[in-house]
Each structure stands twice: as C-alpha cells, then as structure tokens.
C-alpha cells in the first residue's frame, strides 16, 4: 500500500467519492495530518509581526518567496524562514512512525512546491504536482471549476496590527517594486489572484 496526501486545492476540485475510487484503483490510501499546521504557522507569523521593526512578508507561497529572496533582501522587509504549510504537513507525514517504510506521495498545486519538497529529501516521500500525478497514472478526472480559493487572502486578518493583502502576479510585483510599505507590519502576498487555486500544477496550460 502507498500513501498519499492531497493538498487543499485539489481536495476542493473533485467529488470525494470519485477521488477515493481513483486512488484506490491505483493502490493509494489517503492520509491526513493530525496537527493543525495552519494555526502553528499563523502563530509564528504573529510572533514575528509583534517583534519586528520592519514589515514581515508572507512567504507561504513559494513563488513569492523566490522573488523576495532574489530581489528584495535587505529592502526594508523581513523575509522570514518559515516553510509553506504544505511542507509542515509533509514533514509530519514523513516522520509518522506507522508510515515508516511505506512510500508516500505529497501532491502540490504548483510545480515549484514539488521541486522545493523533493529537494528536502524527506524519507520515502515524493512530491508531485497534481497535474503530473494524473499524467503518470494516465487518468483524467472530471473536476469542478473553483469559484473561490480554498486558500484565500485573509490568513492574517485577525492579527492585531496593520495587514496589507496583495494577490496576483502583476500586483505583487508592482507593490514590492514600489517599496512603500507604510505602517504595515504584515504583508500577505499570494502569486495566484484571489488566493491559491490557479497554480501550474492543477490547471491545463496547453
């Protein structure tokens, strides 16, 4: 038996029973996280936002993290060393005692997350975009077009500080290039417009 973790974007795209049958057909058993890693990550951002003298950038999105690292280090913005929530989930699953010795697959909504995950070399764990995973299985599965993101902007809305939220490639690049962060203490940055659901790992770009 092989184990698979389905990311929230993919989870929302399909009827659960159809998804279960597809995975079962190919010998995969779905596994879930026990820890609420979203809340753990939020607490870490909250701690940084309360103690930092400069705005804290949201690096949950690896596209944003890469852009910040390459162009904006030292530009009056804190780039925290906080891994994406998906990586925290993967580390839990890779380290679970009852799953040791078993093959594990972590599906991602974008190719860059799959690359980052595989570079971490977690034991018996492979990261693959959902689009690539279906190609490897030689399957197609009827999906629903998501009108709203499972990972929408607003992750930091309850922090007791000024939060600026920017989504979309052009908007993110323009905001960072301008460099005027004002009194913001937390800057939410998502590469996909309106939240995480249009990544190159889940949609057909051809």
- Per-residue pLDDT tens for 1-15? 899 999 999 999 999
Residue 1: the pLDDT is 86
Tens of pLDDT, residues 36-75: 999 999 999 999 999 999 999 999 999 999 999 999 988 8
Output the pTM of the full model: 0.93
Render pLDDT for 115-148 as a digit per residue (tens, 0 to 9). Answer: 999 999 999 999 999 999 999 999 988 887 777 8
Of the chain, the percentage scoring pLDDT greater than 90 comes to: 84
Enter the tokens of residue 133. Answer: 């995973």
Report residue 84 as tokens.
């994406």
Residue by residue, DSSP assigns 38-65 as HHHHHHHHHHHHHH-SSPEEP-SSHHHH
pLDDT over threshold 50, residue 206: no
Average pLDDT score, the chain: 94
Tell me if 42 sits within 8 A of 154, measured CB to CB. no
- Would you say how long the chain is, in residues? 206
Contact in structure between 64 and 201 (CB atoms under 8 Å) = no
Percent of the chain with pLDDT over 70: 99
Q: Is the dihedral of CA 100, 104, 110, 115 positive or negative?
A: positive
């Amino acid at each position: 038996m092989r184990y698979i973790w389905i990311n929230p974007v993919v989870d929302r795209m399909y009827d659960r029973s159809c998804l279960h049958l597809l995975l079962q057909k190919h010998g995969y058993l779905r596994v879930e996280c026990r820890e609420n890693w979203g809340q753990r990550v939020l607490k870490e951002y909250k701690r940084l936002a309360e103690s930092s003298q400069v705005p804290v950038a949201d690096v949950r999105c690896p596209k944003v993290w890469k852009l910040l690292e390459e162009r904006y280090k030292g530009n009056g913005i804190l780039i925290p060393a906080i891994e994406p929530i998906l990586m925290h989930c993967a580390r839990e699953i890779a380290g679970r005692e009852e799953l040791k010795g078993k093959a594990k697959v972590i599906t991602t909504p974008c190719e860059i997350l799959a690359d980052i995950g595989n570079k971490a070399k977690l034991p018996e764990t492979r990261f693959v975009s959902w689009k690539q995973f279906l190609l490897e299985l030689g399957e197609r599965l009827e999906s629903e077009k998501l009108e709203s993101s499972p990972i929408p902007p607003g992750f930091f809305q309850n922090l007791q500080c000024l939060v600026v939220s920017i989504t979309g490639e052009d908007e993110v690049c323009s905001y960072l290039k301008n460099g005027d962060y004002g009194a913001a203490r937390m800057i939410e940055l998502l590469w996909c417009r309106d939240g995480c659901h249009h990544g190159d790992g889940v949609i057909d770009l051809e």
